[in-house]
Structure 1
């Protein structure tokens, strides 16, 4: 079990801000003896979990991980439905869209839909963000009860502020962010779930703060809300709150 845990720890190091790793970097970041790190990365290469980049000593996720990610997305009816909505919304407005999952206190984009506008937000797929500090995270956290949020954020000094924000999300049915996770970028996020699989995702559209006025914001919110509501009705998501435009 130890080697599986160590392999998982290595894979968790990868993200938007870390696309490749050396043995030395793994040694430092995981506080692991260099000989152990070298053997671990070698075993992961042989299993297809990692591959080296050309003739360098740098490692990146292997083809096996790409196949698993694709299989995960295909296996989820919720992600499939969410992808249809985000494709429609992205095509209509030209801004970048995401589908995001929450794991503990973090959220990660598992699918993105790049915008077509000349001025647009670039992809951040794979980037992990604190759930409490992003619209996607708050839209998903709002589906929890206050007691569940308190247990998740036990000891956090900003818990009361977070609970107030989540109460607002539960009332309006959506979450917003203005230049919070990324300077100059705003976002709108709506969470929806599949009761059959106990899976929840957040549908999010991000756009440059300087180019969208309140009217444009409301128009995108309405389109995103219509798509999320359709998903909730199809899947029987009784915890879904119809967004108030």
Structure 2
């Protein structure tokens, strides 16, 4: 394998649950000889991709990656517009919000907006989720053609149920998660895209189940939908489906976010 591929594998080890690691840990998790891992991490340090924390032997992502993350977000007009909408809905309802993107069979948040309510869901920016098990992921998967989804989930255990779930989301215009994986947490996700760049993002609000009734859920869906509709109109997203069935009883199961 190339050093570039190996470096990418190291970077994939970092997430919300792993903020730093040693050479030994990288070697074990990548099933790589320790000497090779040591040389690889040294090269990544010299390139600015990694840095050592103080006088320890633990490595974390380098500051160069912060610049790249900012550049990524600023390069996308869609992400910026989506962030404005989610921030507005977060301010209005006080619940935590995310803007997320699809990466294969995973979904990850690229922007987050912490809620202001005393009882709220804590942000978990950087945590990768299985797309078919999340409101954001399912909203994005629903934008794909059925044959694309079938190819993506070929021989996957979730494939048979997923097709029906995505058809419901295409009809309703939103995805909903009702505390299936995270007790007490619900999530709503609405996807919109930019045809000119072939990007798509999911606008998501997460909230504690106990503080939001059906009327409030409908209001959140309507607010997200109106914001997403504005983005779709601005960018010419003809695939966007505005929420028309404000019914969170849909059988869209999965992880919040």
| TM > 0.5 | yes
1:109-146 C-alpha deviation (Å, 9 max, x unpaired): 11100111111111111100000000000000000111
Which residue is 1:183 aligned to? 183
1:134–1:181: 8 Å Cα contact kept in structure 2? Answer: no
Which residue is 1:122 aligned to? 122
Q: Cα RMSD over matched residues? A: 0.9
Which residue is 2:252 aligned to? none
Q: Which residues in structure 2 correspond to 1:196-207 (within 5 Å)?
A: 196-207=196-207
Q: Which residues in structure 2 correspond to 1:82-231 (within 5 Å)?
A: 82-231=82-231
Q: Using structure 2 for the length normalisation, give the TM-score.
A: 0.94
Q: Is the counterpart of residue 13 in structure 1 residue 29 in structure 2?
A: no
Q: What secondary structure does 1:20 align onto?
A: coil
2:174–2:191: 8 Å Cα contact kept in structure 1? Answer: yes
Q: Which residues in structure 2 correspond to 1:54-69 (within 5 Å)?
A: 54-69=54-69
Aligned length: 245
Q: How far off its partner does 1:186 sit?
A: 0.2
1:108–1:127: 8 Å Cα contact kept in structure 2? Answer: yes
Q: What secondary structure does 2:192 align onto?
A: strand
Q: How far off its partner does 1:55 sit?
A: 1.1
Q: What secondary structure does 1:182 align onto?
A: coil
Q: Is the counterpart of residue 2 in structure 1 residue 16 in structure 2?
A: no
Q: How far off its partner does 1:183 sit?
A: 2.0
Cα distance in structure 1, aligned partners of 2:215 and 2:20: 42
Which residue is 2:46 aligned to? 46
2:132–2:158: 8 Å Cα contact kept in structure 1? Answer: no
Q: Which runs of 5+ in 1 are unaligned?
A: none
